[in-house]
Chains A and B, each alone.
Chain A
Amino acid sequence: GAGVSQSPSNKVTEKGKDVELRCDPISGHTALYWYRQSLGQGLEFLIYFQGNSAPDKSGLPSDRFSAERTGGSVSTLTIQRTQQEDSAVYLCASSLAGTGFYGYTFGSGTRLTVV
């Protein structure tokens, strides 16, 4: 597609439930990133995928968070047993390559509210 697509745009879930957030990057972009933006906070890096390499999971805040990327394209971020502090906007970005030369293109985000 023309841009990075994220779904759903909004998600309200009950505390303790699992949620899945989807990201469809720009076609041909090999690098994919997940960030989290909490109210009043800056963007927090979560996880990074580059081609077929093992993902960089160094930003995941707990083992309740996981992500996968199938076929080097679509990515799913899963949060198990959601907590209220997980409420945030989850942003996905893709880049033509992971070498650093290219800029990031962000999706519109998924606003997650845990009640």
Chain B
Amino acid sequence: KQEVTQIPAALSVPEGENLVLNCSFTDSAIYNLQWFRQDPGKGLTSLLLIQSSQREQTSGRLNASLDKSSGRSTLYIAASQPGDSATYLCAVRKDYGGSQGNLIFGKGTKLSVKP
């Protein structure tokens, strides 16, 4: 059974710091991995999607890497801002050989960036 773990559960940093959020998964047979952001009382906003054949994806100040063989992904946030404060969720999609697969989520890392 695929399990997704995110460490740390919570993180507080001063504005301007670079930071790394970690995600690990137990079954390396994944189709892709997706990072989401969730603001309090809101739905999920997709940040980055990494296909299993890719090593990393970048969007603005965000960079996500994927090491499928070791079952790890990291989300790097450069020059953090108070507006980055949110819960960050990692989710993997199992590889069913091209057929349907559901996203399995970690419990998230709650990030607080203090001005």
Interface residue total, chain B, C-beta cutoff 8 A: 28
Show the binding face of B for A, using Cβ within 8 Å. 31-32, 34, 36, 41-46, 49, 51, 89, 91, 93, 95-96, 98-108
B100 touches A50 (CB 8 A): yes
A43 touches B100 (CB 8 A): no
Least CB separation from A40: chain B residue? B107
Nearest chain A CB to B78 CB, angstrom units: 22
Alpha-carbon gap, A45 to B2, bound state (A) = 13
Nearest chain B CB to A32 CB, angstrom units: 12
A18 within 8 A of B: no
Nearest chain B CB to A59 CB, angstrom units: 8
Q: Which residues of A lie under 8 Å from residue B107 when comparing CB positions?
A: 41-42
Count, A-B residue pairs, CB within 8 A: 65
A43 touches B34 (CB 8 A): no
Nearest chain A CB to B50 CB, angstrom units: 10
Q: Which residues of B lie under 8 Å from residue A50 when comparing CB positions?
A: 100
A48 touches B100 (CB 8 A): yes
CB-defined interface of A82-115 with B at 8 Å, one 1/0 digit per residue? 0000000001010000111101111111010000
A108 touches B46 (CB 8 A): no
A to B CB contacts below 8 Å, 8 in the list: A6-B43, A42-B106, A42-B108, A59-B102, A100-B95, A100-B96, A106-B43, A106-B45
Q: Which residues of B lie under 8 Å from residue A41 when comparing CB positions?
A: 107
Q: Which residues of A lie under 8 Å from residue B99 when comparing CB positions?
A: 98-100
Nearest chain A CB to B40 CB, angstrom units: 11
Partner of A99, one of B49, B91, B98, B105: B98
